[in-house]
Structure 1
Amino acid sequence: MNSDLTEEEMRRALFGTPQPEEQVPAPLVKEPVEEVVPAKPVVAPAAKKKASKAFTPRLRVTLRVGNEFEGKMIELIHEADTL
């Protein structure tokens, strides 16, 4: 196996020989389309419903923190609406 390859030979080995690009025909010119503006339907105003207040469970986290092994402990409590 030949270890003295040129840069061009390495490129051909990795990527293959370059293929000519296909010519894409020019895009066709479309005729202008008339804009149609839809009329808004008339809707009778509905009676507004009061939003019911849903029950939101609260999360209570209790954390006991100590500075010494089996020593004095401090208890921290945090309440949140979300996780």
Structure 2
Amino acid sequence: MIENLSEDEMRQALFGSAVQSSEELAGRDPQPALALVRVKRAPTSKPLSPKLRVTLHVTKTYEGPQEVFVHDANTLSSLVAEAEAKAAAKRKKFRYFEVMSIESV
């Protein structure tokens, strides 16, 4: 083994030749061109807001036929949800309400 190597010889031994000959380049297969393909992202869902479902028994006349009225409120406050449900029932011309349940959706 030769102990007196020049700096260039050591670099070539460690890292290989820095300059590639045209014969080496011609011997290689050309790398295939990569085609850029845009991937469509899946549509993301909107963040869900907290909702409460209020169920009322409503009538238009006193002791008349009862109907079930369901209202979804975008709030966590049961008092606000109940008030919104009653206001929505009033817009539908109902006059008498009875709250049956308030549950989280």
Q: Quick check: TM above 0.5?
A: no
TM-score, normalising length from structure 2?
A: 0.26
TM-score, with length taken from structure 1: 0.29
More helix, by proportion: 2
Bigger relative contact order, structure 1 or 2, given CA contacts below 8 A and separation 6+?
A: 2
Specify the structure having the higher radius of gyration (Cα): 2
